[in-house]
Amino acid sequence: MKQKGILRTISLIITLVLFCTFNTNIVYAQENEEYYKKSINQKCINLDWAKLSWDDLDWSKLDYGIYWYGMGNKPYKFIPNQVNPAFDPSKPTIIYVHGWQPDYSIIKHRESFYFYGKNSADEWIKNGWNVGVFYWNQFSDEINVEDAEAKIWTINSDKGMRWRKGDGTYDSSNVIRKNAAELFYDEYVKALNGYKGNEIRIAGHSLGSQMTIRLTKLISDNVDKGNISHELLPSRVALLDPYFSNLGKSYINNKWTGDVASDYIEKLIKDKNIPFEFYKSSALTGGITGDENFKLREMCAYTEIRPLFHIQAQQIEKHYDGKYNYFCSYEGKPPIEYVGLTPTGNVAASSKTPTLRIAEMMGGKYYWRQLSGRYTEASSDDTYQRISRFISTVSVSELELDKSNTNLKVGQYINIKANIKPTNATNKIVLWSSSDDSIAKVCVDGQVKGVGVGTANIKCITADGNIEKVCKVNVTK
């Protein structure tokens, strides 16, 4: 802890020295090279809105919420009590949340899934996924990234919950009495009301990673209070080149946002069995500009993406590569894992990598660094090298369930608890599955719901895949 404090102090000193010469408010990278060019007066001008236009949106009014995407990069806003053509409550679901969006209101732009000349969401949709985005861009449109960050945690910062209009002015009427994460939670619960699918995945880029962490914590807290069903717990969370600012913040008792986020994730892993994957792709999220958050790296399945099709000076573009790589990687097979130059027969992390493998990669013993495919935008030729952290870990030796056979009525819930030994095992995540979701459905935390009459086997497996136990569930009327 002392060493971490010293390192942070050094980082702060460097930041203060360079503050006057280093402009951290650089214009964000384009989503595709045809989209924007930089003009002489440093304003981003639009060259091709054909990919996705938001010109019809009334930018003088506040618009936030979840948009579900259909084929061809077409967004459809979630509106309560209305059928959405791009959402099916029985399908697996991924929701993406963006980060800081300086001046995006002025240029009338929102992030989408058009990357590298193709609509990356199409592959997900063709494979049966709901694909959504939570837009909070008018709130996160601040000149200073920390003003946008504060809105994730509080409504009482200097800027409050003001939002930006298309003419560049701000509405500071303070009619919004919830922070951005709470607004995300409210929309999430309404949009997924009655959800019957078998997977919910949340992915956040940059500052949006803090939104995903706060959202998951709010979901977990409200599940514990009985306010929402266990089915709404995310089964996997992806942090895409996540950003956490330096220094303590008054709105979280002078703690660093990265420290609070790490504490949240540690508890979510322990109590809810939620796997977290962490992809670093740029230098913008650490060093003089942000908190490296080494503690969080060791908890998650941590991967370093190292693109060379952008030069070293193009750190903004590299920052976005974390997002691009994740969504585009669903098109192919999971990347091959190497030790040195030898393939191990296993796979590394990607959006296509099975969740069991992501869970196995957690715990800090190893991390992964991109080995090949660094000169191409495509993820199909990517491979990753497994690197040891040379830290001691304790393997799981025993797994026991508190039930081996249980009865349940349709519509009722029952919790199956997994007991791991030894108690100091490094990676105690377990994954649950049902032999028949139409009879009994199991949530990420081991909560089982009776769905239909019959018998189903609920399987629990350790993250390393070495031990599994089964509970037989008999469901009656």
- Residues 144-200: tens digit of each pLDDT: 999 999 999 999 999 999 999 999 999 999 789 999 999 999 999 999 999 999 999
Question: How high is the pLDDT of residue 117?
Answer: 84
Sign of the dihedral through C-alpha 318, 323, 325, 326: positive
Between 1.10.3260.10, 1.10.1740.10, 3.40.50.1820, 3.40.50.2300, what CATH number should domain 2-388 receive?
3.40.50.1820
Residue in 232, 156, 145, 153 with CA at minimum distance from that of residue 188: 232
Tell me, yes or no, if the two domains 2-388 and 398-476 fold the same way: no
- Residues 42-53: tens digit of each pLDDT: 232 232 333 688
- Residues 85-143: tens digit of each pLDDT: 999 999 999 999 999 999 999 999 999 999 888 899 999 999 999 999 999 999 999 99
Average predicted confidence (pLDDT) for the chain: 90
- Residues 359-405: tens digit of each pLDDT: 999 998 999 999 999 998 888 899 999 999 998 999 999 999 999 99
Residue spans of the domains in the chain: they are 2-388, 398-476
Taking a C-beta distance cutoff of 8 angstroms, is the pair 281, 243 a contact?
A: no
Q: Is 38 helix (H, G, I), strand (E, B) or coil?
A: strand
Spatial CB neighbours of 393, under 8 Å, sequence gap ≥ 6: 363, 364, 365, 426, 427
Question: How high is the pLDDT of residue 210?
Answer: 99
Question: How high is the pLDDT of residue 51?
Answer: 63
DSSP 41: T
Asked if residue 242 has a cis previous peptide bond (ω within 30° of 0), the answer is no
- pTM of structure: 0.90
Class of domain 398-476: mainly beta
Taking a C-beta distance cutoff of 8 angstroms, is the pair 200, 129 a contact?
A: no
Question: How high is the pLDDT of residue 40?
Answer: 24
- Judged against a pLDDT cut of 60, whether residue 1 lies above it is answered with no
Sheet strands side by side (includes 440-442): 413-415, 447-450, 440-442
- Residues 315-348: tens digit of each pLDDT: 999 999 999 999 999 999 999 999 999 999 999 9
* Six-digit token string for 10: 């050094």
